[in-house]
Amino acid sequence: MRDAHVRDAVALLEYNRNIDSESRFLSREPGEMDLTVDEERGWIDSLLKQENALILVAVHGDRVVGMLDFVGGTWSRIRHSGEFGISVAQEYWNAGIGSVLLDSLIDWAYKGGIIRKLRLRVLASNQAAIALYKKKGFEVEGLHPHEVRIGGENFSLLSMGLVLE
């Protein structure tokens, strides 16, 4: 596992297209990811330049098999907090990659000294992810009904947070 580079753009796009078909817990429908390679490069580059942002990739050979992206707030009052997304390729689920990605995020936040609060939003039905976040110390902060619509049905999101003392 390592920080992402701009040269990961192609592999990351391929990874994201695959994971959208593998998981029913993500925000995008399969096929909806329509960024070009240049746009993906631009996105990676913009986060690399932000000292309160992070993109981690888990790699197997040339292939991205997991990722975590975190972005902190822009203004001084919210610079210390931010939201992340995390996913792992289906064939690697329950092998500890998600746990390592989260540990690395928390470690980076502590060491950087800027980030004091991590948060995320997760489908209330995503038991595996919620169990993992709770294991890392995240607490449920809110329930947001009707936030996600899949196949004509509405689903609730939970917001969860971890305060770094």
Point out which residues bind ligand COA (CB under 6 A). Answer: 23, 25-26, 86-88, 93-99, 120, 122, 126-129, 131-132, 135
Q: Which residues contact 74 (CB under 8 A, 6 or more apart)?
A: none
Q: Smallest distance, Å, CB 83 to ligand COA? A: 10
- What is the C-alpha separation between 40 and 28, in angstroms, rounded? 16
Contact between 49 and 74 (Cβ < 8 Å): no
Q: Can you name the residues that pair with 55 across neighbouring β-strands?
A: 69
Do 124 and 159 meet the contact criterion of CB atoms below 8 Å apart? no
CB of 75 to ligand COA, least distance (A): 25
Which residue, 4 or 86, is less far from ligand COA as judged by CB? Answer: 86
Q: How far is the CB of 57 from ligand COA (least distance, A)?
A: 13
Nearest CB to ligand COA, comparing residues 23 and 50 = 23
**16 versus 87: smaller Cβ distance to ligand COA:** 87
Shortest distance, position 109 Cβ to ligand COA, whole Å: 18
What strands lie across the sheet with 117-123, from one edge to the other? 2-3, 53-60, 63-72, 81-88, 117-123, 153-163, 139-150
Nearer to ligand COA, 35 or 124 (CB): 124
